Amino acid sequence: MVYYKYQNFMKFFIASPWQNTDIVKSLSVALATRGHTTYSFLDNGANAVGGAFPIEESEESFPNSILNWENNPKIKEIFESDMRALKESDVVILLEPSGRSSLAEAGIAYGIGKKIVVVGRVAHPTIVLYSICENRYASTDEFLASLGGVAA
What 3-state class would DSSP assign to 11? strand
Fill in the amino acid letter for 72: N
pLDDT at 147 (0 to 100): 87
Domain ranges (residues) in the chain: 11-147
Q: What is the pLDDT of residues 18-65, one digit of tens each?
A: 888 999 999 999 999 989 999 988 876 554 444 444 444 445 555 555
Interatomic CA distance for residues 147 and 102, integer angstroms: 22
In this prediction, residues 91-114 reach a mean pLDDT of: 92
Alpha-carbon Rg for the chain, nearest whole angstrom, is 15
Tens of pLDDT, residue by residue over 105-138, are 999 999 999 999 999 988 777 777 778 888 999 9
In contact, 125 and 9? CB cutoff 8 Å: no
User: How many Å separate Cα 13 from the centre of its chain?
Assistant: 5
Indicate the helix (H) or strand (E) that contains 117: strand 115-119
Domain at 11-147: CATH architecture? 3-Layer(aba) Sandwich (3.40)
Q: Are 90 and 52 in contact (CB under 8 A)?
A: no
Output the pLDDT for position 151: 46
